[in-house]
């Protein structure tokens, strides 16, 4: 597997890429992609870092692992390429944006437009085997992505971390709440969202108010 990541991330993550666990992860992924259908395509694995450069990060939106159906995953959490049917979780995300900010429900589920404004759409695991949710967990991805969260917390100020669902909320331990805003809610998947605090969380307007307070340009959601 070839490491394709924007140059702005190379120095902050250099020690991770040179580590033993990352070499083991690379070996595992090479075998997985050779012997199974895996998502996203290899050249999209680090897409979140390609579209949101290190110096641009304003918001970190954490997912668990990529969509495991054909054509859905392209390296950005919750996002799908243009022309792909919106998964249920993404539908609920867009409904909350509409409710919170009055922005009409979009045609495309491609969130590259968010990433390019400074939203790091980061999954905890950056790959998955087709039809097997969580199949690439505990292989090293979480060590890398936990390090990303921690380094952003340590080296930057005034970021927003969106932690939706129990899995994402566990990552709060890597974030300094004195330096950053942490917003939590239920996961937007229908089973979780319909049980309580998802709809009406107003995270998108809260993000923008916080960014403005810290002298940053708000996100055009």
Q: What per-residue confidence (pLDDT) applies to 197?
A: 76
Alpha helix stretches (DSSP H) within the chain: 14-17, 20-35, 47-51, 88-101, 112-115, 141-155, 166-169, 190-193, 203-213
CB-count exposure of residue 69 (10 Å: 0-12, 13-18, 19+): middle
pLDDT less than 50: residues of the chain: none
- 94: tokens are 């867009």
Which 3 state secondary structure label does DSSP give 117?
Answer: coil
Tens of pLDDT along 166-178?
889 999 999 999 9
Q: What is the pLDDT at residue 215?
A: 96
Q: pTM of the prediction?
A: 0.95
Q: Tokens 């159906």 sit at which residue? A: 69
pLDDT of res. 190: 78
- Contact status, residue 58 vs residue 103, Cβ threshold 8 Å: no
Q: What is the pLDDT of residue 192?
A: 67
pLDDT for 166 equals 87
- Pairwise CA distance, residues 169 & 187, whole Å: 10
Enumerate the active-site residues. Answer: 65
């Amino acid at each position: 597997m070839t490491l394709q990541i924007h140059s702005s991330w190379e120095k902050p993550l250099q020690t991770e890429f040179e580590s033993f666990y990352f070499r083991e992860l690379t070996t595992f992924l090479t075998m997985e992609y050779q012997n199974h259908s895996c998502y996203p395509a290899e050249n999209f694995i680090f897409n979140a870092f390609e579209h949101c450069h290190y110096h641009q990060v304003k918001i970190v939106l954490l997912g668990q692992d990529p969509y495991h159906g054909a054509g859905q995953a392209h390296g950005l959490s919750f996002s799908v390429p243009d022309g792909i049917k919106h998964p249920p979780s993404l539908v609920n995300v867009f409904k909350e944006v509409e409710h919170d900010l009055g922005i009409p429900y979009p045609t495309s589920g491609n969130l590259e437009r968010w990433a390019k404004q400074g939203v790091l759409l980061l999954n905890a695991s950056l790959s998955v085997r087709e039809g097997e949710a969580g199949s690439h967990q505990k292989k090293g991805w979480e060590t890398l992505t936990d390090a990303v969260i921690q380094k952003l917390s340590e080296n930057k100020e005034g970021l927003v971390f969106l932690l939706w669902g129990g899995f994402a909320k566990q990552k709060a331990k890597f974030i300094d709440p004195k330096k950053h805003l942490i917003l939590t809610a239920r996961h937007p998947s229908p089973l979780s969202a319909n049980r309580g605090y998802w709809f009406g969380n107003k995270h998108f307007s809260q993000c923008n108010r916080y960014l403005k307070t810290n002298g940053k340009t708000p996100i055009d959601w």
